[in-house]
Structure 1
Amino acid sequence: MSALDLYPWQHEAWAQLLHDPARLPHALLLTGEPGIGKRRFAERLAAWFLCEAADKALAPCGVCEGCRWQLAGNHPDFRLLSPEEGEAEEGEEGAKAKKKSAIINVENVRELTDFVQLTSHRRGSRVTLVVPAETMNTAAANAFLKTLEEPPEGARFILVSNHWRRLLPTIRSRCRVFALPQPDEDVATSWLTAQGVVDPALHLAHTGGAPLAALDDAAAEWLPQRNSLLAHLGNPGALDVLAVATEFDRAKVDMALLVEWLQKWVHDLVSLGLSGKIRYYPDCREALARLAPRAAGMTAYAERLLEARKLAHHPLNARLVIESLLFDYLAALKSAGSPR
């Protein structure tokens, strides 16, 4: 699959966006769920802006000078603004490893400003892709806003966001928001099957219907850890919090992942209790059904998980955080009734 190709579920959205190319805005904000291919869509749009074919119509030609530069990853009129690799640090084995930054900082944006003000090398558009846009910190967002407010002629900005409401309202107001829809289940299942995924429907469920996330889910090294956690959550009467917290701490499971698994479990508990539906873990229906009558105590716990998600990338002590989350889970179940 070429870097200029769309995923099968994106063609309708692409046609909708480009139905009147002359009216495309200078700044576009692509939104939608994680794992549905927003970045691929954005990269193709950037390539379309940079394509030099006179008859490019609704797709980059892929063979002109502009397309070849873009496919090679070194087009002089394209910039990617994204969290960058941090300073090298000593790993546990003494080897140097680079730690990826979680934010786009103001220095990154200032470098971008110089690029935007330059004359185009190829006498066309100058395109900036910002992904994920919500990772700009406050200083970076304010600096970026100044560029959006008075864009030089020919400057194009494509922002990609999983959580667009975290962006400054003033940035959102200066972009055309274009929401990419969730893929049709049949289309997503067929695509995953073609990628060699066994039981694609289950992995789609685990990821809320996002095909790219489902592809990662099917091949993830942490699947045994998630299965273990779900088994513990489904049998709270036998849950040994201290032992489980130690198990996950030793396994170095990413805290953000663990919190996400808990959030999805709580969502299914509440949803099953209210509507009889399960979104994420259909393979755990029996355990969820046993616990659903006690889901009334989960509202406050769900808010607790939201706070934990915000701090997941820098917990002070991972084992203690896991212990706290699991003890709170048991307490939430207990508040809605005694164990069966």
Structure 2
Amino acid sequence: MVSEVELQAFGIAEGGKLPLPWLAAPLAQALAHARSHALLVQGPAGVGQFELALALAQSWLCEARLPGGMACGRCASCHLFHARSHPDFQFLVPDALRDALGLAPDEAEGSAEPKASKAKPSREIKVDAVRKMLSFAQVTAARGEAKVVLVYPAEALNTVAANALLKTLEEPAGKLRFVLASSAPEALLPTIRSRCQPVPLALPAQDLALAWLRERGLAAPEVLLAAAGGRPQEALQWSEEGIAAQSWTELPRRIARGEATALSDWPVPRAIAAMQRLAHDLLRMSHGAGPSYFPLEALPAVPRAAPGLHDWIAALKHAARHAEHPLNAGLLMESLVAQGQRAMHKARR
């Protein structure tokens, strides 16, 4: 999901300033070693795939590139890019991301028909959007540099849309270039992946991530960064949703006491993910390893034999499949917390 931070820093600013400091090296490497008209930025969510894809697109369209090929951030093309009005740039995005990206209603899905006011925005990239992109691709570049299509998230392409995109990926017209961004490249059609040059994006260095989070006012950022698995954008999003370092460190003890209210204000998917991370850390400790997501002092001691943890992990995995549409969120949370309490009680005995 695109955050407000991403929207405030849309692309490369003047002087080559990137919205995320850890993108400098992967951007330079991608620009230096790009050998294909289609790049696939791939890596864990929450580390800047969208921003890196934007930076690549802007750099290809820039009319006064800096040494190394990075966009200058100040030419007419860059100004159009920042305003989301560049005539040679187009998104392929799900309808559900349209508002977050500041796109007009008919720009995201390519449909000329108004959508029903009560219809839930689609999370898929549909074939209508691809067909509109094909019309865009056949027109000569307005500013003469290139034409660029950004597909985000690429795994949102449904099967029909992905197959419609394949032909253009194989034989792009003129100066047409693609940049796809995905946190789940394995979900893409193998034929899509085979036509793209991979651009890997790893977790950023901890010092860069912590400095970035501190600049945004996070208290004890190391706690939320660990909670988010080293993904700084996810840590920031958690903070914006009201999850503080203190509430995170208190969570194991509150679940051990059976307090379902500890998660009552959390979105169901986030609450289930938090319990999965707690169960993961407890399981690691039962095998003599250290925790990944919680501070060691926040966790109860766990013996090597902890059979109740496996049952809880299975229940959480099953619940995660329906996390977006639970039949009764309150009852689900009470049930999962109660199972966690039993698992932790058995583990301590």
Band of TM-score, shorter chain: 0.7 to 0.9
Q: Corresponding residue for 1:193? A: 214
Contact 2:31 2:56 survives alignment (8 Å): no
Structure 2 residue identity aligned to 1:202: V
Counterpart selection for 1:18 from 31, 47, 52: 31
In the TM superposition, residue 131 of structure 1 has moved relative to its aligned partner by: 1.2
In the TM superposition, residue 44 of structure 1 has moved relative to its aligned partner by: 0.9
Q: Corresponding residue for 1:94? A: none
Gaps of 5+ in 1: 91-97
Distance across 2 between alignment mates of 1:208 and 1:84: 28
Counterpart selection for 2:162 from 141, 145, 170: 141
Contact 1:31 1:161 survives alignment (8 Å): yes
Contact 1:272 1:288 survives alignment (8 Å): no
Q: Corresponding residue for 2:52? A: 41
Distance 1:288 1:55, change over 3 A: closer
Distance across 2 between alignment mates of 1:140 and 1:323: 40
Distance across 1 between alignment mates of 2:327 and 2:163: 30
Is 1:205 matched with 2:222? no
Q: Corresponding residue for 1:309? A: 320
Distance 1:217 1:292, change over 3 A: farther
- Runs of 4+ in structure 1 off by over 6 angstroms are none
Structure 1 counterpart SS, 2:299? helix
**Aligned pairs for 1:289-308 within 5 A:** 289-291=300-302, 293=304, 295-299=306-310, 301-308=312-319
> What is the aligned residue count?
318
Distance across 1 between alignment mates of 2:153 and 2:306: 34
Distance across 1 between alignment mates of 2:157 and 2:319: 20
Distance 1:311 1:125, change over 3 A: farther
Q: Corresponding residue for 1:153? A: 174
Distance across 1 between alignment mates of 2:172 and 2:327: 42
Structure 2 residue identity aligned to 1:128: V
Is 1:71 matched with 2:93? no
Distance 1:61 1:286, change over 3 A: closer
Structure 2 counterpart SS, 1:18? helix
Distance 1:184 1:155, change over 3 A: same
Is 1:279 matched with 2:292? yes
Structure 1 residue identity aligned to 2:253: A
Is 1:53 matched with 2:64? yes
Distance 1:119 1:295, change over 3 A: farther
Distance 1:197 1:222, change over 3 A: closer
Contact 1:270 1:292 survives alignment (8 Å): no
Structure 2 residue identity aligned to 1:265: L
Cα shift readout 1:282-335 (whole Å, capped 9, x = no counterpart): 1xx34533246454544464354344333322223323433443455456557x
Distance across 1 between alignment mates of 2:234 and 2:225: 8
Distance across 1 between alignment mates of 2:74 and 2:263: 50
Distance across 2 between alignment mates of 1:101 and 1:292: 46
Counterpart selection for 1:182 from 168, 178, 203: 203
Contact 1:298 1:333 survives alignment (8 Å): yes
In the TM superposition, residue 48 of structure 1 has moved relative to its aligned partner by: 0.5
Q: Corresponding residue for 2:267? A: 254
**Aligned pairs for 1:158-169 within 5 A:** 158-169=179-190
Cα shift readout 1:81-120 (whole Å, capped 9, x = no counterpart): 2222485757xxxxxxx85432222222222222222222
CA-atom RMSD in angstroms: 3.0
Distance across 2 between alignment mates of 1:120 and 1:186: 41
Structure 2 residue identity aligned to 1:60: A
Distance across 1 between alignment mates of 2:170 and 2:314: 36
Structure 2 residue identity aligned to 1:311: H
Structure 1 residue identity aligned to 2:324: H
Higher deviation after alignment, 156-165 or 53-62? 53-62
Structure 2 residue identity aligned to 1:80: F
Distance across 1 between alignment mates of 2:141 and 2:274: 46
| TM-score where L is the length of structure 2 | 0.79
Is 1:239 matched with 2:258? yes
Contact 1:31 1:38 survives alignment (8 Å): yes
Distance across 2 between alignment mates of 1:159 and 1:74: 20
Structure 2 residue identity aligned to 1:239: G
In the TM superposition, residue 228 of structure 1 has moved relative to its aligned partner by: 6.8
| TM-score where L is the length of structure 1 | 0.81
Distance across 2 between alignment mates of 1:102 and 1:54: 35
**Aligned pairs for 1:80-159 within 5 A:** 80-85=91-96, 100-159=121-180
Sequence identity percentage: 36
Higher helix share: 1
Q: Corresponding residue for 1:265? A: 278
Distance 1:322 1:74, change over 3 A: same
